[in-house]
Amino acid sequence: MKRRRFLQALPLTLTAAPVPALQRELGITTGSFMRHLSETAQPGKLHLLDLPRIMRDELGMHVIDLMTATLVSLEPKYLEQLRQAATDAGCVLTNLKMNQKGLDMANADEAVRRQALDTYRKTIDAAALLGVRWVRPLPGPKPPDLKLLAQSYRDLIDYAGEKGTGVLIENFGWMQGDANAIPQVIQAVGSGLKAQPDTGNWTDAARYDGLAKAFPFAVSCDFKARDLAADGTHAAYDLKRCFDIGWQAGFRGPWCFEHFHNDMAQLFREMGMLRDMLRLWMKQGAP
C-alpha cells in the first residue's frame, strides 16, 4: 500500500502524538527578528548564524523555528553552516515555515498547482539539509477547493516523508476567522498532517474556540504575543488562557515565541519575560 493511502486509512487521533525530546521546551521563531537580521555580522544587527549561541547564552532556550524569508540562502553550504551552528550551541531546528509568496497549491489551474508544489518540494529538500522535523506551506488568503488542497497536502506529505520530514498546517490567511478550519483540513487530508496553532493569528471571535479545536492535533505552537506592558501584561488577548487551552488539550511543547519589537535589546528582554511566564505556567500545570 502506498504511504499516502496508508496514512489516509489511519484513524484521526484526538491528541497528536507528543515529541518527547521537545516536551516543555521553549524557543523562538526567526520571523520575530525580521527587522534586525543582517546577512553578515555587523553592529546593531543580528546574524542568523549567531542566533543559536545567543539563544543558549542569553535566553537559555534551545528550539528554533525557521522561516524561509529569514534565510540568507537555500544553498547547501549555507544550510549546513546554519545546521552546524545550531548543533554547536545545543539547539534544535524544528520547523521551516515555507513562506514563499504567490504560491497556490489548491488552484484550479493545474500548472499553478504544479508550480507551487515544485517550489515546496525544493524547499523541503533544503529543510532536509537543515535537519528540521517539519515544514509548513503558507495558506492562501481565500478559502480553497478543499479537495484540491487535500490532494496537494498529501503529495507534500509523501515527498517530505521520504526525507524524514513531517508537514504542518498553521492558522493563517483564510483560516484566521474560521475556528473549524484546521480540523476540517486535517480531516480531509488524513493523519499525516499535524497542526501548529498560532495564538495570535485569529480574529478575536475565533481565537479561543479555534485553539481548542486545533491543539488536539498540535505538535508545535507559535506562541505569539503583541505589545507587552512593562509588567508583562498583554492587553490584546489573554495569553494565559491561550496556554491553558493547549495544556488542557495535552499539548506539552515546543512553545515557540513569535514576538516583535523595533529595539532588539528590548525584544530579547521581552522574550525573556515570555519565557519566564510559560516556565511558571508549566510548573503550575505539572505534570
pLDDT by residue (tens digit) across 98-122? 999 999 999 999 999 999 999 999 9
pLDDT at 41: 84
Amino acid found at 258: E
Enter the DSSP assignment of 138: P
pLDDT at 286: 85
How far is residue 48's CA from residue 251's CA, in Å, rounded to a whole number? 29
User: pLDDT tens-digit profile of 168-219?
Assistant: 999 999 999 999 999 999 999 998 999 999 999 999 999 999 999 999 999 9
pLDDT at 16: 52
**Residue spans of beta strands (DSSP E) within 131-263:** 134-137, 166-169, 193-195, 221-224, 255-258
Section 228-237 average pLDDT? 95
39, three cell numbers: 546577512
pLDDT at 19: 65
Minimal CA–CA distance to 256: which of 49, 100, 94, 99?
94
10, pLDDT greater than 60: no
Q: Among the listed ranges 13-27, 41-55, 175-189, which one has the minimum average pLDDT value?
A: 13-27
**Cβ proximity of 211 and 239 under 8 Å:** no
Say what the pTM is. 0.92
Higher pLDDT, 11 or 137: 137
What is 37-93 written as a DSSP string? EESS--TTSEEGGGHHHHIIIII---EEEEEGGG-S--SHHHHHHHHHHHHHTT-EE
User: pLDDT tens-digit profile of 117-169?
Assistant: 999 999 999 999 999 999 999 999 999 999 999 999 999 999 999 999 999 99
pLDDT, the chain, mean: 93
**Domains of the chain with CATH codes:** 3-8+22-281 (3.20.20.150)
User: Coil, helix or strand for 224?
Assistant: strand
